[in-house]
Structure 1
Amino acid sequence: MTALGFLYPGHSGEDDYPRIEQLLGSDIRLDLVHTDIGEDAHRVDALLRMGAPERLAAGVEELRRSGAESVVWACTSGSFVRGWDGAHEQVRSLARAAGMPASSTSFAFAHAVAELRVRRVAVGATYPDDVARLFADFLRAAGAEVTGVCGAGIITAAEVGTWGGEQVLALAREADRPDAEAVLLPDTALHTAGHLPQLEKELGKPVLTANQVTVWEGLRLVDRRVNAPELGALFLREPLVQA
């Protein structure tokens, strides 16, 4: 049994994780610990507080007791908002506190883009435009070319968590660009685990979503590979890079 640990802020799209666990169809357990979200707001100051070291460290002991072998901070905006260097320090601090390999959803996106060997990506973010642009900056720091950024302007994760499949698909369509090799949907509050085959069929290219890449990153940290077609192109390829 491989046990993966995730620190998830608040309660919005966390039911993607048991769905993904089921779709993995193997001896993999996904253990989720909820962190204190503080103020639910896609606003830079609130996001910086949400990902503060003491908030992440508070959930680490429970993951250790569960037998987790790696831990991923399952929040995109609460990591990239710190910038490339700040997000690295956040992960280093989490690894020290947890005593195990650690990462975040922001780095999961960067590693997944490299895994698929794509360079040009389009972003469909639920966030306000200023926060969405910070994610694009993070991707550029990772070496990606961002061909377009579409922000939905939603302030709270709670509202994002109410979105259904049609809204997710509409965001992906709006974000897509003809020259983009993949479309990225960066919000772990967004339910996407049940929509990945449809998204990729409609767009005709890989679609990377926050909870999907977060689980893939947890597996990458422990050198596990699972073939899971229902989780999209990312789960159909052999690993190409190691961080």
Structure 2
Amino acid sequence: MNDDPARGAAASQASRRRQAPAALPTAAIPPAAIPTPAGPTESGPAPTAPTPAKAAGAPAAGAAAGRPGRRRRPLVLTLAGFAVLAYVLDQLTKWWVSSTMTDGQITQVLPPVLSWHYIRNSGAAFSIGENVTWLFTIVMAAVAIGIVVQARKLGSVWWSVAMGMLLGGALGNLTDRLFREPSFGMGHVVDFIALPNFAIFNVADSSVVGSVILICILTLKGIPFGGKVPPADASPVSPAGAESTND
């Protein structure tokens, strides 16, 4: 009677051992199944999520690409301002002379240095080439168009001033060529500024000559037409920042 319970308990324990799964040794587990902590590996650092600053860098880089155009906008406005100034002064003085004086009239202003001498010139500046009026009309039109086309490449304030003076002077005399007598494209330019032993000229001629002198100076000084436009993302480095970089 006493042996039956003992035999039953032994049989129950043996049954549990058969049902329990055997533990696998660590060496039998494949390496891919063992989790590893995130961090740098032999092939390189672990990938990280983009920070907000890096995420914002993409639109900032796109905006920086358009900054050179905005940097040149003041230069184009400078060119336009000097061109308008030269053109308006030229046309106003010509209108005043042709309205108050007769052809060939001389009025002393600062004798014997300066006087007004009203003439109509069929040639170029300082009465050069009076027999080829149509040629100068074409040249002045080409100069004006060329300046307008190249204006977007400006990178220097002084080049903007020079191009503005040249454009204003060319347009001033071109207006006379196109709309004054005797015919369209063959009009005579109004000249009235007279100096001793010098050709008679006008404000447009003075603007053109001044621009040529300025262009020669800029060329001799080695200042390029495009100027030295700094990169849009360039920022000055402080001495402290430079020292920390060297360290």
- Of structures 1 and 2, the larger Rg is shown by 2
Which structure's residues are more often strand, by fraction?
1
TM range (shorter): under 0.3
Tell me the TM-score normalised to structure 2 length.
Answer: 0.21
Which structure's residues are more often helix, by fraction?
2
